[in-house]
Structure 1
Amino acid sequence: MLQLTRTMVHSDKLVELESETYSALGLYDSGRGNSQTPRVLSLLSSILERSIQKNESSLKASRKQDVVTIFHGCRAPSMSIRQYIERIFKYSSCSPSCLVMAYVYMDRFLQRMEASLTSLIAHRLLITSIMVAAKFIDDDCYNNAYYAKVGGVSTAEMNKLEMKFLFILDFKLHVTTEDFRKYCLQLEKEAAGVHRTVRLNQAYRPEKGGPNKGKTFTTSYSFRGK
């Protein structure tokens, strides 16, 4: 009985901790109609930008060639990662949780491809992973043509990126509660200034479509493929 009581207390504390973490990241806020930027956006941007910087420095120092994928471009886009995620979040109105899911998917993709997150791959990987996450967990989302316009690629390329992405992940898009919590904690550590090497730092390792809602754009953005 005592053990059961301890387990229940531990469980309650864990739920409370999760609730506080999710609230701090802004995951309880709805993306649609919400003018505030969730904290998870800035933290994810920071982690990705730092990972890109570390990976590119490591690859340059080692003079190693990175794995080239369909997501790679000829040159790095002029738009920063932070600006790009803000643009996607603004125009897609995806839920904040989609950003965490996209973070998980990107990590899985890079591990399976044994590739590094660099400025040549990050933008296409972001728009694809966020779109896939929105289709998987949001009640409704925009179609590929809309996301292509938001991301600065053609609809044909968006379709190809999505299919390649899904096949690499073996169409396994489910994320357990434990994994979701783990990635949220990584984001929280970013906020606390604890810079751990996460899986997205690959250079340090060996070796459903929704309707187009007809939104208008105040900015335009595009980048060339490889």
Structure 2
Amino acid sequence: MASSNARVELPANLEDVPIEHLVQLIADMLERLMAHNDQIPLSPESLTRFHSRAAPGISVLEYLQRIVRFTNVEKSCLLLTLFYIDQICALRPRFTLSSLTCHRFIITSIAVSSKGLCDTFCPNKFYARVGGISVAELNMLEREFLHMIDWRLMCTREILHEYYINLIRTHSRGIYAVAGADSPLSSSDSDIDMDSGTSAPSSPELQARSVTSRSRRSTSEPSTILVEAGTPDAVPRPTLEQNMAFAALQNSQDRSR
């Protein structure tokens, strides 16, 4: 039996990567991002429609595998989920991808990107069934998603390729490498190294909320891993809906103790 830490070589072109490996790479990154962001205290003003009352019982990896199995999603749409996370975190600094938001974000992102950029896609009724939510809820999340991202759905192939290479380089177990590369792209380089060599802030509130590489910091796209969350000039007051949702979340958590 092969070792679970055996080196796995992946093709240099993202179009050629087996989708099961791409799912593993994306899930690994999202799980680490969620573990980090779950440390950030939940506040009323940070609540969004993507927040669930409790973390779903299915892992991100299993959830992505389920989506791939039933929707035949394109690999570009899976990678676009990471791109959209970065875009929304830049446009909406209060948003965090956590165990309460990740699953709804994923199914919404895939539904939106598939319908917006692919020749074939599923109806919302099917995406909702696969994602474990109602059609009405997915419709609401889709509208919120497009508003949060300011309808910026397009992304170049070059940027997606950078996401792909960075996922290989930063995989938590360091088992992946690009075929033909002189040396494996090890994850021994810390996430801090990806931030132009600067030290990461110690407070969770100041740490990164996104998922890409240092290579994109030279472009006009928002920068990513371990980026200090900017403080808005004017902090908006929580809405009545947010306060009610936060109170309901607290009551739910109190009952589960």
Q: Distance in 2 between matches of 1:182 and 1:148?
A: 30
Q: Which has the higher contact order (CA 8 A, sep 6+)?
A: 1
Partner of 1:167: 147
1:37 Cα offset (Å): 4.2
1:190 Cα offset (Å): 2.3
Task: State, as a whole percentage, how many aligned pairs show the same letter.
Answer: 29
Partner of 2:176: none
1:188 Cα offset (Å): 2.0
Partner of 1:87: 66
Relative distance call for 1:180 and 1:196 in structure 2 (3 A) is same
The gaps in structure 1 that reach 5 residues or longer are 1-18, 30-35, 208-224
Picking from 84, 87, 93, the partner of 1:105 is 84
What CA deviation, in whole Å up to 9, does each residue of 1:77-113 have, x standing for no partner? 1111111111111111111121111211122123322
What CA deviation, in whole Å up to 9, does each residue of 1:110-146 have, x standing for no partner? 3322111110000100000111121233220101110
1:189 aligns with 2:169: yes
Q: Which of the two has greater helix per residue?
A: 1
The gaps in structure 2 that reach 5 residues or longer are 1-9, 172-185, 193-207, 211-224, 232-247, 250-257
Partner of 2:98: 118
1:204 Cα offset (Å): 5.1
Give the aligned residue type for 2:48: T
Partner of 1:22: 13
How many pairs were matched up? 179
Picking from 155, 173, 188, the partner of 2:135 is 155
Picking from 35, 43, 48, the partner of 2:30 is 48
Q: Contact conserved, 1:55 with 1:204, CA < 8 A, in 2?
A: no
Q: Distance in 2 between matches of 1:174 and 1:186?
A: 20
Q: Contact conserved, 2:38 with 2:98, CA < 8 A, in 1?
A: yes
What CA deviation, in whole Å up to 9, does each residue of 1:59-78 have, x standing for no partner? 15xx8677110100111111
Q: TM-score with structure 2 length normalisation?
A: 0.62
1:67 aligns with 2:46: yes
